[in-house]
Amino acid sequence: MLAVLAFFVGGSIGSFLNLAADRMPAGRSIVSPRSFCEACNRHLASFDMVPVFSYLWLRGRCRYCRARIPLRFMVVEAFMGALFTSIYFRHGFGAEFIVLGIAVSLLMVVALIDLERGLILNRIIYPSLVVLVLLAPFWTELGLTRSFFGSESMVASLLNSIATGLGAFLVFLAIALAFPKGMGGGDIKLAGVIGLLAGFPGALIALWLGIVSGGLVAIGLLVFRKLGRKDTMPFGPFMALGTIAALLAGGEIISWYQEVGDYVVRF
């Protein structure tokens, strides 16, 4: 029953992120006005905003004017619902749920805006940097052992965040200087955020997953001619999704690696 609650919390936050992703790039307020239909301007009632179910019940259309609601709305709600459910199963409801929930939401809105507009907003990145530096000493206290090898002291946790954030920023800066067409300033700053957030070795897994999945998708798009050689593909969404995977399953990803490694060594 509580898992259903976690799903609805995640779905409702997903609904809010949909709105934020539409409004923030235009500099509009994310608080007011309340949700309304972009086609007929009618305010949505709370029963129009039950995550996932309203979309299915109304078959993806506005209740009042029947205008199509983008499928993205439901996909983000369902995805966030699933993520929050999985956080609940791992950590229950508590400080970990709140902190991981906020981190995942932040990454998701960055991914959405970059995917749709090719932008990573400083208005999201800079406040995140400040909050993550302040949060850096407390990861073990929050029950989230980012090192995966045991708990960190507060000083170790702070140093881990700052060193990993700075390291990721500098590595991505070097990549951007070497391949000026590949990566933008937003990606470099996002790498710093991810370093601060996930620490070592989490950020390594996060960015590695981002680079591999982004590279595979880019190759696929080139092969199927959906992407020209001169086109650019936003890279932020892959970094963000890689980080979500590392935050939720970093320990498992590391042990799979060790198992595969042991297997290879035995040959």
Contact residues for Zn ion (CB under 5 A)?
37, 39-40, 62, 64-65, 67
Q: How near is the Cβ of 20 to Zn ion at its closest, in Å? A: 20
Q: Which is nearer to Zn ion, 45 or 67 (CB)?
A: 67
Question: What is the C-alpha to C-alpha distance for residues 145 and 154, in angstroms, rounded to an integer?
Answer: 11
Q: What angle do CA 36, 38, 41 make, to 5 degrees?
A: 55
Q: Which is nearer to Zn ion, 36 or 89 (CB)?
A: 36
Q: Which is nearer to Zn ion, 38 or 231 (CB)?
A: 38
Contacts of 184 (CB under 8 A, 6+ apart): 120, 176
Distance of CA 116 to the CA centre of its chain: 14
Q: How near is the Cβ of 51 to Zn ion at its closest, in Å? A: 19
Q: Which is nearer to Zn ion, 64 or 138 (CB)?
A: 64
Contact in structure between 15 and 51 (CB atoms under 8 Å): yes
Question: What is the C-alpha to C-alpha distance for residues 226 and 233, in angstroms, rounded to an integer?
Answer: 11
Q: How near is the Cβ of 248 to Zn ion at its closest, in Å? A: 36
Q: Which is nearer to Zn ion, 49 or 188 (CB)?
A: 49
Q: How near is the Cβ of 255 to Zn ion at its closest, in Å? A: 49
Structure tokens at 205: 């897994």
Q: How near is the Cβ of 32 to Zn ion at its closest, in Å? A: 19
Q: Is 36 helix (H, G, I), strand (E, B) or coil?
A: strand
